[in-house]
Structure 1
Amino acid sequence: MLPPLTEAVAGQVLVNKLLHVSHKLSIPSLLIVTVLISTVLILAIKNVQSSPYPLLNGKKGFELLNTRPKKEFMAHAWDMISRQIKAAPDEIFRVIGEVGEIIVLPPKYAHELRNHRDLSFSQAAYRWYYGHLPGFEGFREGTTESQVMKLVARHQLTHQLTLVTKPVSEEAAAALRDIYTDDKNWHEVEIKPANLQLMARITSRIFLGEEMCRNPDWLRITATYTVQVFRAVEELRYFPTWLRDVVHWFLPQCTAARRMVQEARSLIEPLLETRRSKKTAAALKGEKCEYNDAIDWFEGLAREKQLQYDPATAQLSLSVASLYSTTDCFTQALLDIAAHSELIEPLREEIVQVVGKGGWVKHSLYNLKLMDSVLKESQRLKPIAMASMRRYTTNEITLSDGNVLPKNRFTVVSANQHWDAAFYENPEVFDGYRFLRRRQEGDKTKENLSQLVSTTPDHMGFGYGLHACPGRAFASEEIKIVLCHVLMKYDIKTVPGSDLTPRRFGLNMTVNPTAKVAIRRRDDIAII
């Protein structure tokens, strides 16, 4: 790649040549030359590196688009960013990512930026995932400022967890019989697709109630919409910004996403109308008609606080926000436990001691401290992304050390402290007891920060700051309940030759979709 100033000089050479022949051209040809000169000068100026922060994968020569740098980033982001962090661990840098230029900040800025008023989570998510386009509504409801999604996540899914633990446990038991089966012989399972079906059933029980959680059409939509809409996002990203509002109408992945949104509406709207009719009829009789699920929570909050929301896309937003990441976290933990089989019996003993005596209550789930440690360690080694705190600058920001973040830029904070020996002893080694030992040291602050739901700059599995995952308490307890059922009801082991290595794509790190485990049904299930 030419240095930026050299590119500008090269552009000037071409301009000079065009000017040299321009006096021989006709008027129409002269207009074309003028346009060419203007384009070349604009490109040359844009290629001049005015930012003080290094750009790791900029355009070469006179590349008109960012297509090549974007593809390079999506394929090699991990290596690219890791090299830069190793060379300059405390320095800010830039990359051309899937959404264009992204400013990558080291974790030392996480605390300073965690609640900054000029860093917008909503605008970042909206611009990153095209929430304004039809078919992408699953990103829209969760990124608007209506607050209904956040209120549900922070109230019902956090402060009323006792109300949902029993339904989660009941649905986990039923879904496991259907998906993992009762086969007492060892049989292989492609674990991520199986767990996606499992979690779709369980989350739908909480979000939509018993009426819909086993509806095959809804389960298909909720399990596949997230994958489909992310494919549509990737499809659009290789087109210039000015083309996306038009071209999405003709792209197959975008068309499929729009079709799924319409299917979701055709299922959710009749259910909502039926419930409203039942509530009206009950009210006329002086009776109450209540449901303990997200449909009812959305309706109640919207009415109470006079908020506007779209019921169908709110449910799709819940799927996008929770189902994919929860499945990924649970599946990775299960793979880690299978790979470290020495953890299985201690985990079972803890379940017997805690849940067997205390039952399905919040305090019991809190006291599954070894399980909590195993889950947090699994998430430390493989978070959902290698950078967190995705934001968009709404104003120019001057940091405490004088560095400046320009207005209208995407920013992220690197999660490299997850794998940093300065923060974790033997950081590359999976240690299921790591966070349990920290909780037992007698330091109350360290104990609190060592819990799965706690967020710190050296563990941003759920993000960090004001916009850390608002539903992480529910996700944590849902995963623990399901893991209790799996460990008590099934034996599990790795399959020789199965690749358990996570997949890396851009900033994302996901469970290997082809990973397999072997399972068989156990008899020792008395306490569940």
Structure 2
Amino acid sequence: MSAKFEIYYPMLASKLEQNALAVAGWGMLGAVLFGALFVWSFAVDARMPKLPIAMQEEVPNKKKRIDIFIKDTRRLLIDSYNKFQDQVFGITTTEGTNIIIPLDLLHGLGSQKSLSFSAFLEEEFSMKKYTKVGNLDEKQINIVNRKLNPTLPQYVPVIQELIRRHWPLESFDKPTVTKPWPHVMRLVSRISARVFHSAASADNDHWLDIASEHVHSAVVWTENLKKWPAILRPLVYRFVKGRGYMMQRFEEGKALVAQTLENKKANGGKPLSDPQSLLDYLYESELGPDNVEAHTIAQINLCVAAIQSMAATVTQCLMDLATHPEYAPELIEEIKTVIEKNNGVVDKRVLTEVWKLDSFIKETQRLNPPDLTSFQRKALSDMTLSNGLRIPKGARIVLPTGAINMDREFFEDPQTFDGFRYYRIRTANEEARNTNQMVTVGKKDLTWGYGKHACPGRYIAEVAMKLLVIEFLMRYDIRLPENVKERPKNIEFEGLIIPDPEWELTMKSR
């Protein structure tokens, strides 16, 4: 997978080649548009607060700073965080300047109605008006919290059975090199399909292909579109490479969702499986039985939110297990002990009591989260921070999570992977027993966001990821290949961290 994407624009090119009149016409249009772009950019910059900009002194050229943001966000955030300390500062991104706020300004912002995560997501990453990819709305998020999350104890045996029935790897009598990413991705796609869509969709390879491929194609297409100035995107989006395939996959997914809705109608509107899926809850409430488009968009948005991040975290855990095999014996012993105490049954209680595994996954998330920033918000109106700094409407603010996670004030020896870091904290302090968990949200626990918009799906992710890591741990001894001496590097671009799909591990059946 590459962070470099090419723009293919044949229709416009052919028009430009037709005749001199066309060239002149497009040239005049371009001059007008770029003139408007200049005025628009100046107006936006004029409203931004005066802030120190990361690496502006070292790299005065804005284009070069954008290139650093794309290719080396981690270093950019850490160096700037250490330089500016508790100051607000800006970083130059492909979409303009993001305002980086320190932790001490976070209090009270989590419930600010004038700050929107959805608006940030749809502008910075998904371009929803073109891709249909975005965030769930407030009513849908409430349904996840009130209806779906309470059923997770019922889902534990269902997800475990699904994992085992579709286990993609063989038994290995001798150390065997394999690439974990495609297998993990498929398993996570199945789990997501079962929880969000239906039991039938979890066994439907066509739906699973769409669920994963639409996300990937939308990301690729969005990166292509973002190479165009925002003011030109409404004119060029139809011609940017990848749109046809992306929309084709959406329509294929829509047909499958329509079939699920028809099956529910034929069943008297009753759930098609037990426990019922999120689609069942949406059918019974906000979206109803006939809005196929809205149901499909909701399913795609759920895929975006769940599949890539869960698959990435599980794969990162496997890489940490391979890099630090000394943790496996204690993790396995804990898992066996907790299951035996529970009469051999794996349920929600077991997943809650495997504290060492919980700590291991949380440490993986600290060092290699899916995103190096969190609390990503767009201002829907002018507002003022607690330090008096005025934030204009349209500005984007984020927390530099990747840098905070490397802060010695919060973490002892932060550069070092310490799989039982949080286990020790929880066992040493009675007050910390119910905090410092992988689903905890707080000022030092930012992987899942912060405030009322913290990820509602983190409890689903906890169940799925723990069950998957347990399955790998109990089945295989996991190591780095003989010719690999240290943990391989991630693919990192624009603050996103992605496991390299070509990563290899050596596995041997226990």
**Normalising by the residue count of structure 2, what TM-score does the alignment of the two structures yield?**
0.85
Change over 3 Å in CA distance of 1:303–1:322 after alignment to 2: closer
Structure 2: how far apart are the matches of 1:77 and 1:117? 29
Q: How many angstroms apart in 2 are the aligned matches of 1:275 and 1:218?
A: 17
502-511 vs 166-175, greater mean Cα deviation: 502-511
Q: CA deviation at 1:184?
A: 2.8
Separation in structure 1 between the aligned mates of residue 294 and residue 312 of structure 2, nearest angstrom: 27
The answer on whether the counterparts of 1:115 and 1:466 sit within 8 Å (CA) in structure 2 is yes
> What's the counterpart of residue 6 of structure 2?
none
How many residues are treated as equivalent by the alignment? 474
Equivalent-residue separation in structure 1 for 2:124 and 2:149 (angstroms): 27
CA contact (8 A) 1:248 1:255 kept: no
Q: Mind listing any 5+ residue stretches in structure 1 that lack a counterpart?
A: 1-32, 283-287, 523-528
CA contact (8 A) 2:136 2:302 kept: no
- Distance, in Å, in 1 between the alignment partners of 2:43 and 2:383 is 24
Residue identity opposite 1:449 in structure 2: T
Cα RMSD after superposing both structures? 3.2
- 1:505 counterpart residue number: 493
Q: What is the aligned counterpart of 2:464 among 451, 465, 478?
A: 478
Cα 1:42/1:467, change in 2 over 3 Å: closer
Structure 1 residue corresponding to 2:234, chosen from 233, 242, 245: 245
Q: What residue is the counterpart of 1:277 in the other structure?
A: 266
- Indicate how the Cα distance of structure 1 residues 346 and 238 shifts in structure 2: closer, same or farther if over 3 A, else same: same
Residue equivalent to 1:525: none
* Aligned sequence identity (%): 23
Letter in 2 for 1:196: M
Q: Deviations over 1:220-261 (max 9, x none)?
A: 111222121111111111112122123121112222211111
For residue 197 of structure 2, the aligned residue among 208, 228, 233 is 208
Q: How far 1:166 moved relative to its partner?
A: 1.0
**Which residue among 282, 298, 304 is the counterpart of 2:282?**
298
Q: What residue in structure 2 maps to residue 312 of structure 1?
A: 296
1:111-153 deviation digits (Å, cap 9, x = unpaired): 232222221122222222455434x1232xx2445x22x1343
After superposition, the Cα gap between the structure-2 partners of 1:35 and 1:221, relative to the gap in structure 1 and judged at 3 Å, is closer
Check whether the contact 1:103–1:410 (CA below 8 A) recurs between aligned residues: yes
- Tell me which structure has the larger Cα radius of gyration: 1
Which of 160, 169, 172 matches 2:151?
A: 160
What is the SS of the residue equivalent to 2:479? strand
TM-score under structure 1 length normalisation: 0.82
Match of 1:443 in 2: 430
Q: Could you tell me which residue of structure 2 aligns to residue 14 of structure 1?
A: none
Q: SS where residue 215 of structure 2 aligns?
A: helix
The answer to whether structure 1 residue 263 and structure 2 residue 277 are counterparts is no
Displacement of 1:468 in angstroms is 0.9
User: What is the CA–CA distance in structure 2 between the aligned matches of 1:82 and 1:39, rounded to whole Å?
Assistant: 32
1:322 CA drift (Å):
0.5
Q: Is the 8 A contact 2:55 2:80 kept in 1?
A: no
Structure 1 window deviating more from structure 2 (123-132 vs 435-444): it is 123-132
- Alignment correspondent of 1:350: 334
Residue deviations 1:195-221 (CA, integer Å, cap 9, x gap): 111211222222233312122211111
| Structure with larger RCO (C-alpha < 8 A, sep 6+) | 2
Pick closer, same or farther for the CA change 1:305–1:426 going to 2, 3 Å: farther
Give the Cα–Cα distance (whole angstroms) in 1 for the partners of residues 322 and 238 of structure 2. 45
SS in 2 for 1:133: helix
SS state at 1:127 partner: helix
In structure 2, do the counterparts of structure 1 residues 411 and 41 end up closer, same or farther at CA, with 3 Å as the change threshold?
A: closer
* Deviation for aligned residue 1:388: 0.6
Q: Is the 8 A contact 1:102 1:410 kept in 2?
A: yes
8 Å contact kept, 1:111–1:465: no
In the TM superposition, residue 331 of structure 1 has moved relative to its aligned partner by 1.0
**2:221 matched to which residue of 1?**
232
- Please say if residues 257 and 292 of structure 2, whose CA atoms lie closer than 8 Å, have aligned partners that are also in contact: no
For structure 2, the residue ranges without an aligned partner over 5 or more in a row are 1-30
> Are the structure 2 counterparts of residues 400 and 346 from structure 1 closer, same or farther at C-alpha, using a change threshold of 3 Å?
same
Q: Distance in 2 between matches of 1:38 and 1:263?
A: 39
1:199 has 2:188 as partner: yes
- Once residues 118 and 36 of structure 2 are traced to their aligned partners in structure 1, the CA distance between those partners, rounded to angstroms, is 36
d(CA) in 2 for partners of 1:350, 1:38: 63
Where do 1:67-466 residues align within 5 Å? 69-134=65-130, 136-139=131-134, 142-145=135-138, 147-148=139-140, 150-176=141-167, 179-279=168-268, 291=274, 292-302=276-286, 310-358=294-342, 359-415=345-401, 416-444=403-431, 446-466=432-452
The letter for the 2-side match of 1:435 is: Y
Contact 2:122/2:133 (8 A) holds in 1: no
Q: Judging changes above 3 Å, is the alpha-carbon distance between structure 1 residues 160 and 512 closer, same or farther for their aligned structure 2 residues?
A: same
